Chain A
């Protein structure tokens, strides 16, 4: 069975990070429209990420000797929560701070740690995730991109797809096959840190249904990387990618993707003298869900802080969290449409439209709903 989640509080010294960050964000985001802020962790601004790095808000959980904050996961929770609540454009550094950095810290050589981690902490090295391929989505073990050892180092050939931010990232941590064939499944996979400026790498952004460009197709044609690009042990890619996904799935961004539209709607309700009873009830239900999900996410953070790898718990909170994120725009639409005579401010409408359009991705990125439920079922001993 799965370990149950215990009510956990954020230590005071980590809560103490909040006021200065909030003051910084109030200033940095002054006048930014709600529908822009609603992009949340898909909003890309390299300068903003560097500014966070200068102030010590990146790499909080990395040791100080690598330029990090030497703090625990609660500190990161507080910072991430404030960034998301404000709708800050955090996409540039997001993946590096959340999973690439922790992966390098856990499996990297001393030289790799010294090279990459300080750059991540300064907001100068942006990463993307090289997992999905045209024929390997949910079935990740069937990746076909291959690295072959040669006299000149490793030679990469293959294709990655749905790679968020590849066209504006410096590095990709790619899951590739180093031995065997697709039939060998989890065996024979390894991870490489690929410098995306190398010859033979072609990156093509793919426009999404909102009109934005974030995910990409990445082609590797005889890309040569040296031995020190291999991260962790050759052949341990599956174990490493599983640990990486626990980092990816356990953060509060799986609850807060629609938080900007919720706050816009709350502002709209507060401005009314006679809000409808059904809208108020709906609001209460949303806030109760938010409260419980946040407590669950903090509890998972407590597990990370104790050095555990809460793979199943993270899957459980992510599935529940993304359902909440997806419900918000749908229910707000129902509430607004329920009173056609009441004029809706344009900023709220635009924000709602964007979040509605982007929301299908919430339960695709980082593992689909069906895959997560499979992870939970395995944790329950059903499979």
Chain B
């Protein structure tokens, strides 16, 4: 069933989310057409219980769909919307139809204004789920003051509302939205890292220098092997993050997923650009669609430094448990 879903998603994105579509969306900041197509596929309700009209899948079961979204650099908060809809569905709350970004870093000001910092995909979202600690609130992006929070082509924005609208939907339950966001991004990172790896292998086999493909040189082979290791480790880390039988990740598993995938970004993007040479540095070549995102996503919802600190405190605070036992007992990784 999983493969069926991810194959269908793969086909949809192949047709509708080609590099030319991504470039257009990055330029215009508008992705409504693509969003309607993604929504029509029904995948956005994958985590909603069957009683609520969804597919009732676990986070582990939707991993392949999120991974494929990362492979195609889908310029929409699809995974995030799926997660928020899943949380709404679990409490039978209605959820609006638009794309929903997740803001984990939120400031409330004395005058009632609300500030959401560096929200991934906010430029192409209709809603932002703002994390207020014990609750979260859905805010419409059309009434926000929005500032681009990234470099060229970024879809991230910082947003400010004068006040929370009285009729805003509130999600109850104490959810760790930073960990949820981190886990989802880890799934996207794993997919994007794999795509960058494939592009690099492909280019190394095509590009000829000194009379043979550069893939035939040991110096290149050794670098690409290192890349393969990082990419395989990232996919495993993301599977650990998504390794939950419910619609939500365990915090420690999300920590491992985001930490390891973020760390992989450093060497994978460096090797990809090294192998591609100047061509990989052009706007025209598609590599940049991915490597720009890798670095943005590394920064989103906590990098390896943040999650290292979270996980390290947890290990240090758990008396008597050996490292291996901490891994076995405290970092759940449920297999489908």
Contacts and interface: CB of A to CB of B under 8 A. Distances in A.
A296 interface: yes
Nearest to A382: B215
B82 interface: no
B201 interface: yes
Nearest to B194: A4
Contacts of A286: 323
Contacts of B324: 81, 85, 256, 259, 290, 294
Contacts, number: 158
Contacts of B259: 284-285, 288
A291 B316 contact: no
B24 interface: no
A342 interface: no
A382 B324 CA distance: 36
Contact of B239 (A7, A85, A285, A370): A7
A291 to B, nearest CB: 5
Contact count band on B:
35 or more
A351 B334 CA distance: 35
B316 A283 contact: yes
A295 B240 contact: yes
B185 to A, nearest CB: 15
Interface string A266-293: 1001100001010111111111111111
Interface in A331-381: 370, 372-374, 376-377, 380-381
A275 B316 contact: yes
A9 B335 contact: yes
A320 B229 contact: yes
Given A316-B228, A376-B228, A9 B333 contact: yes
Contacts of A210: none
Interface residues of A, number: 51
Nearest to B309: A281
A374 B217 CA distance: 11
A97 interface: no
A158 B205 CA distance: 42
A380 B228 contact: yes
Nearest to B306: A281
B225 A291 contact: no
Interface in B190-225: 201, 204-205, 215-216, 218, 220-222, 224-225
Interface in B245-274: 255-256, 259-260, 263
B323 A280 contact: no
Nearest to A275: B316
B240 A292 contact: yes
Nearest 6 A/B pairs, CB to CB? A284-B312, A284-B311, A284-B308, A377-B221, A373-B225, A280-B312
Interface of A: 1-2, 4-9, 81, 85, 256, 259, 262-263, 266, 269-270, 275, 277, 279-296, 299, 316, 319-320, 370, 372-374, 376-377, 380-383
Interface of B: 201, 204-205, 215-216, 218, 220-222, 224-226, 228-229, 232-233, 235-237, 239-240, 243, 255-256, 259-260, 263, 304-305, 307-317, 319, 322-327, 331, 333-335
